[in-house]
Chain A
């Protein structure tokens, strides 16, 4: 295979990938209205409040070794055109053969979305010309997708749970990549992505704000990462979204929607919805009408702009791909996949709340990433079978560990402190070897230097002093030095806290605070 295909000289760069409003396709979005108006989500315009209605089309790259219809590798990051088979390059006479692993992953994702699995689905050709679309058509599923209606529960930070309906999920091929900045008059084409399997997940227009949209995509990502069906890596393009936005005054019929194509980060999804809603509200308040069209979000300028005009609108001439038989499997196949699904985020969150007594918020944060939830459970369940206090474990994972990770911009997988090490720190607190304060110092040492926490405590003399004789001496000394305060404390028992602080300070933090407290109370005559 040649390394690079040159497209012809062109003084102007190629037009952006043309995927405009589809004239021939029934538009499922923005046509139905299910949820009631949520007044707290309304946006104030100059002439009153508006409701934002959002539906999403999320493109998720299927986690698989090979592409959807060819044996070429689907891996990211290879040299241009290193992963291109004869089928991907659309050589004459080449035929697609469905990759069963991609079908399996689509079904598993559908099950994770609590969706109907269609035992018979059909691949269609979506015809259009573009240099990085070698066949001149994309193989997709149009009228008969592999997955039908489902739903996703999205937890909002304020505690509200939003139910977002799933319209469908279908399998389709990704296109290649056109590179316009390598040559003054030519464009280059990289076909590594050409033919890679994507799942297009279409939501119902159930989303009412930018925050909900972001949370929805984040939740989809979490579900797919739990399932191992999409790595959710937005930087590498494994997850991208088309966002359909319309606005209306509460109670009015749905407005005209605009589709913002190919938004590739959660932040941009939120920004794109905000600015597009503002734009539409502005137009309506100026008495203008909104054109149904495809728009592009420019994060630099903080605006959306029209991608193309009507004259260039495409007719994709969908028809069933005659090279592929309808995709059929039986219910037993689906049942076997369902039986084999891992525990999903919602179930895991419920279990963390029920079994471990965690708050909804803590359980939600811990289960937001499969790796975090696994880490937490590894801390709770010690290697020797003991169970540690789940609330203390959750506090440490959420506050100390996550805080430190966030500070350094690291993910849980790159944590220098293992679940075993953190567990050992918690054990040392639990058996009274160290105080909570010392434990934080110990955590810091383990983070930067590594090592066995127990051995570190021994070696560095960090053990808590529980010898009542030593503590009593310190207590006596502090009382002797502060007779006034000692006298006051008898009247005002809360003063004991000040004495505890002084004794702890004197012991270098190593004294057992409970022991200090008890001794002080008896010596000061409080109780």
Chain B
């Protein structure tokens, strides 16, 4: 993270978090067949929070955020998003999905549509927005992620970092209340990581509620207001980034931090 990023990030970490609860997860459990991936998860997210989830691979962090927009189904416990409980009701799920944006590790852009069409598709068909308005909206967000000039290109013509920024713009076009990031920089080259993190920092500045699964500890320590460490499907430790990195309580966390800082 460079100087300007660090300065911005410093301002972000001082931002206030509201009392309004947007996500409430209580005693949630999930199994893949016999494998108990998520165990007794309790998590309350307030509006405007920037939460970073970290942990070793296979610890269930991606699965946890994928449960929040029902890409994965949980078997026990309660997940409430924006006061709506997630269950088998397809209508509720579609409504929640339109309010929760998601960014994937592998971008998952629609390769047969241009960057602009990727962004306008959901506003047109889910929000029933006229095509012209949707295009204006899409251009607004493509400008925010700083690639308006790539609007008419297809994903295959864009670099990894540009693709991920289009993916962020696509999610933002639904004007979501919450953004979920599932290892957004893990598939990128080092130079491209920066442009994506810059975009995410700007989002945080605008007060977006964000849950980010990432290995970018620099980002976590400067942007997050809360860091969650997971292992074996459980939340092992959660704390403010300062406390988390400087003064970890559990042995498992200490081991994890020592391993990633060694490199």
A and B are partners in one complex rather than unrelated chains: no
**Interface of A with B (CB < 8 Å)?**
none
**Interface of B with A (CB < 8 Å)?**
none
